[in-house]
Structure 1
Amino acid sequence: MNKGIVIKNMNGYYYIQDELGTIHECKVRGRLKKSRYSLLVGDRVEFSEDGFVECILPRQNSMVRPAVANIDQVILVVAAHNPDINELLLDKMLVMIEHADIPVVLCVNKYDVGDTSTDQLIDKYKAIGYQVITTSATAKIGINELRNKLLHKVTAFAGPSGVGKSSLLNAVDEKFAFQTGDISDKIKRGKHTTRHASLFSLNTDSFIMDTPGFSAIEFTDVTLERLPTLFPEFSDYVEACKFHPCYHEHEPICGIKEALANHKIFESRYDAYTIIRKDIQNQRKRF
């Protein structure tokens, strides 16, 4: 039996790269189609010589949006300018990645056109504990550092449209030749140039995944109890809460609210927490 990794799904066919780098076109056995696990890009599988996926090997992790599996890290890309950083959207994406238990590196692209507010945001997320790198695909800033972070890993590139994900990947290695999109002057949003998640090999054990831009973010599988744990900076203060669980809103003697009052937690992050909490509550009412 052969082993490999799913690098692409198109029209019912799965393209699997084996351990030698050869790509095979395969279909899925009927019994796998009936299982509760859909075959995802990034899945490690066993497949037969006649081109059928026989089994999906145990997953390290998976995400719903984008629908991918076995990701070692996410490079979450935002732009210093055009489009400007939407911090609430950034925090929502970070929560999604934290919920999937995948390490994340925040990449601030177009750093060459940033300003003091860009540096303030970088300092803020570093203080929270996130790893942050700065890049510019056009000015060739930080490309070697980014390339080194991709080695020996399966990395998903994610982030809003128009921030330069495809341009960054082209700068890392021209062989990828990803289609890049211009920013629409009218709507100030990127055109969705990437339609489906696909894996591309940087070398024999390094893969990168270009994923469709985030459009709608839902937290249907995040519980109210789980949500506070997805804000890493909360962990230092949650033990001071009188009640467990504590939702850090109206409860008395709350370590999170006390830390907020003492400027140990950023107000924008607490605001993002309460907004996402309300999103989850509203979603529950609809179902």
Structure 2
Amino acid sequence: MKTGIVVKNMNGYFYVQGEDGTITECKVRGRLKKGRYSLLVGDRVIYGNEGTIENILPRRNELKRPHIANIDQVVLVVAAHAPDINSLLLDKLLVMIEHADIPLVVCINKSDLADETTAEIVERYQKVGYTVVMTSTYTGEGIDTLRTILDSHVSAFAGPSGVGKSSLLNAVEPNFAFQTGEVSDKIKRGRHTTRHASLYALNDHSFIMDTPGFSAIDFSDISPERLTSLYPEFMIYEDGCKFSPCYHEHEPVCTVKEAVESGIIHKERYASYLAIREEIVSQRKR
């Protein structure tokens, strides 16, 4: 028996990379199909020479959208422009990754198109405590920094379509040769050039996962109480709130709202929190 990592799932076949770097096309043992969870890209497995996956090793973490497992960090990619940064979508993605308890890096690509608005967004998220890296496949800015961030990790690249994830991966390692696409002038969104979540070896101890672009996010497993903890800047102030739990909405004596009014917590971050909270509450009423 061998130990390996699932690098691709396509048409019912799982491609497993062994410790020697060899990739084997595998099928799943019947009893595993009835198990607790389905096999995901990123899972570590026990498999035989004949190409049968015998066992799935315990999972360290799991991201539901895209559905992947055992990630050391998520590189959440947005573009400075073309398409413009959607702050609400960015915060939704951050909430989803925070809920999965996976470390993350915010990557603002197409830095050659950056302006004062981009600089304000960088400052906003750095102030929260996120690592923010600016990159450009056109000028080469930040590519070496990104390569260092990826070293010795299993990293998932995620984010909306059209922001240049595939181009970034090609810049980090030209041998990847990922297909890239242009942003549609009509709908201002990118075409989905990545069809399946796949894991690629950057070197012997570093893997990169390219994932399909996405915009629909499901908050069905996040409670209103949990949501407040997924905004790191709220945690500093909520001990001073009069009520516990405090939803930082209509409650009196709310130190989080006071921090918003004083400009310590950014008003757009607070607005996104309220929008996501409303979405969670609405889902629970259905």
TM-score (norm 2): 0.98
Runs of 4+ aligned residues of structure 1 deviating over 3 Å after TM superposition are none
Does the 8 A contact of 2:89 with 2:215 survive in 1?
no
Deviation of the 1:259 alpha carbon: 1.3
Establish whether residue 184 from structure 1 lines up as the match of residue 209 from structure 2: no
Deviations 1:116-169 (A, max 9, x none): 111111011101111000000111111111111111100000111000000000
User: Which residue number corresponds to residue 169 of structure 1?
Assistant: 169
Deviation of the 1:217 alpha carbon: 1.1
- 1:84-103 aligned at under 5 Å gives the runs 84-103=84-103
Deviation of the 1:91 alpha carbon: 0.5
Deviation of the 1:285 alpha carbon: 1.7
Deviations 1:26-62 (A, max 9, x none): 1111111001211000001111222111111111100
CA RMSD of the aligned region, Å? Answer: 0.8
Q: What letter matches 2:91 in structure 1? A: D
1-structure distance, mates of 2:119, 2:61:
32
2-structure distance, mates of 1:179, 1:201:
17
User: Which residue number corresponds to residue 24 of structure 1?
Assistant: 24
User: Which residue number corresponds to residue 8 of structure 2?
Assistant: 8
2-structure distance, mates of 1:215, 1:87:
13
TM-score (norm 1): 0.98
Aligned residue for 2:268, secondary structure, equals helix
Structure 2 stretches lacking a partner, 5+ long: none
1-structure distance, mates of 2:68, 2:138:
29
User: Which residue number corresponds to residue 210 of structure 1?
Assistant: 210
Q: What letter matches 1:254 in structure 2? A: C
User: Which residue number corresponds to residue 158 of structure 1?
Assistant: 158
Aligned residue for 1:147, secondary structure, equals helix
Does the 8 A contact of 2:73 with 2:102 survive in 1?
yes
Does the 8 A contact of 2:40 with 2:69 survive in 1?
yes
User: Which residue number corresponds to residue 271 of structure 1?
Assistant: 271
Deviation of the 1:66 alpha carbon: 0.2
Deviation of the 1:19 alpha carbon: 0.7
1-structure distance, mates of 2:242, 2:45:
48
Establish whether residue 199 from structure 1 lines up as the match of residue 213 from structure 2: no
Deviations 1:10-30 (A, max 9, x none): 111100001110111111111
User: Which residue number corresponds to residue 118 of structure 2?
Assistant: 118
1-structure distance, mates of 2:32, 2:172:
36
Deviations 1:77-132 (A, max 9, x none): 11011001010100000000000001110001000111111111101110111100
Establish whether residue 80 from structure 1 lines up as the match of residue 86 from structure 2: no
How many residues in Structure 1 have an aligned counterpart in Structure 2?
286
1-structure distance, mates of 2:258, 2:215:
35
2-structure distance, mates of 1:168, 1:133:
12
Establish whether residue 285 from structure 1 lines up as the match of residue 281 from structure 2: no
- 1:211-226 aligned at under 5 Å gives the runs 211-226=211-226
Q: What letter matches 2:58 in structure 1? A: P
2-structure distance, mates of 1:253, 1:59:
42
Deviation of the 1:215 alpha carbon: 2.3
Aligned residue for 1:180, secondary structure, equals coil
